[in-house]
């Protein structure tokens, strides 16, 4: 397996566990998300046949050539670029953090996710909030995952999860409630993710050009490959 393909496989394992279903073939990968936001088609060769009902296409280094021109001709427009980043685990200072081990902490994990990623009153707010709770309860005991929650004065404040797949530790769902940002909580959780890697590889994904990308660069993550998105308007 090419080194960077292991990073993609880890990301796909996260999507399968938390966002929907992943269907593979020799020519492509279909991500069928519980929300359209997470649904996408990923070609794995330049000759793959574009599904007629696809609204989002993600390109990866293994997609082959000519896709940008082909997608534009089919009515797609360039959208965000997801950067898959990697850092070596290295030595990590500080005290280890225990993964959550109760339904109460799983609910607290979901609470942080909702506060960090949602706005009250936005469309599908209730659906997303329910989904965060269901996925936290479903996955916090999974042997290939560790969910982490930091509390401030007893209140859920910051969270992340790590998923071990394809010989890589993937970091996902890094979130801090707005009122607790700027205290280094997410940095503390990222240090725990590196501990989990035990000297191995650590990966995460971030939107190119975002503040989060700049933060991860400062923390020692480096771009491994880009994944441009194309969407039908």
pLDDT at 60: 98
Please check the confidence at residue 66 and state whether its pLDDT lies above 90. yes
Residue ranges of domains in the chain: 3-85, 90-199
DSSP letter string, 118-187? --TTSTTHHHHHHHHHHHHHHHTT-TTEEEEEEEETTEEEEEEEEEEETTEEEEEEEEE-GGGTTSSHHH
- The 10s digit of each residue's pLDDT in 161-211 is 999 998 899 999 999 999 999 999 999 999 999 999 887 899 999 999 999
At the second CATH level, the architecture of 90-199 is 3-Layer(aba) Sandwich (3.40)
**Nearest residue to 205 via CA among 55, 1, 12, 3:** 12
Please check the confidence at residue 65 and state whether its pLDDT lies above 80. yes
pLDDT at 94: 80
What's the average model confidence in pLDDT over 23-52? 94
- The 10s digit of each residue's pLDDT in 95-125 is 899 999 999 999 999 999 999 999 988 888 9
- Could you tell me what percent of the chain has a pLDDT over 90? 85
What's the average model confidence in pLDDT over 8-29? 96
pLDDT at 2: 60
Please check the confidence at residue 4 and state whether its pLDDT lies above 80. yes
What's the average model confidence in pLDDT over 23-28? 97
- The 10s digit of each residue's pLDDT in 125-163 is 999 999 999 999 999 999 999 999 999 999 999 999 999
If phi > 0 it is left, if psi is from -120 to 50 it is alpha, else beta; for residue 176 that is beta
What's the average model confidence in pLDDT over 214-218? 92
Query: In whole numbers, what is the pLDDT of the chain averaged over residues?
Result: 94
As a whole number of angstroms, the distance between CA 228 and CA 207 comes to: 10
pLDDT at 1: 44
Given a contact cutoff of 8 angstroms between Cβ atoms, the answer to whether 186 and 174 are in contact is yes
């Amino acid at each position: 397996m090419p080194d960077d393909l292991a990073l993609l496989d880890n990301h796909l394992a996260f999507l399968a566990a938390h966002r929907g279903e992943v269907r593979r073939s020799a020519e492509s990968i279909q991500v069928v998300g519980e929300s359209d936001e997470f649904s996408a088609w990923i070609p794995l060769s330049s000759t793959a046949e574009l599904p007629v009902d696809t609204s989002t296409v993600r390109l990866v280094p293994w997609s082959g050539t000519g896709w940008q021109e082909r997608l534009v001709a089919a009515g797609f427009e360039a959208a965000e670029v997801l950067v898959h980043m990697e850092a070596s685990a290295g030595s990590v200072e500080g005290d280890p953090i225990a993964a959550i081990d109760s339904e109460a902490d799983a609910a607290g994990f979901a609470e942080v996710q909702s506060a960090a990623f949602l706005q009250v009153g936005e469309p599908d707010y209730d659906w997303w909030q329910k989904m965060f709770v269901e996925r936290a309860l479903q996955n916090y005991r999974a042997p290939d995952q560790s969910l982490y929650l930091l509390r401030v004065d007893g209140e859920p404040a910051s969270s992340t999860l790590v998923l071990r797949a394809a010989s890589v530790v993937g970091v996902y769902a890094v979130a801090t409630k707005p009122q607790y940002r700027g205290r280094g909580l997410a940095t503390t959780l990222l240090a725990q993710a590196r501990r989990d890697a035990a000297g191995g590889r650590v990966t995460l994904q971030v939107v190119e050009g975002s503040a989060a990308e700049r933060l991860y660069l400062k923390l020692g993550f480096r771009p491994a490959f880009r994944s441009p998105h194309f969407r039908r308007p």
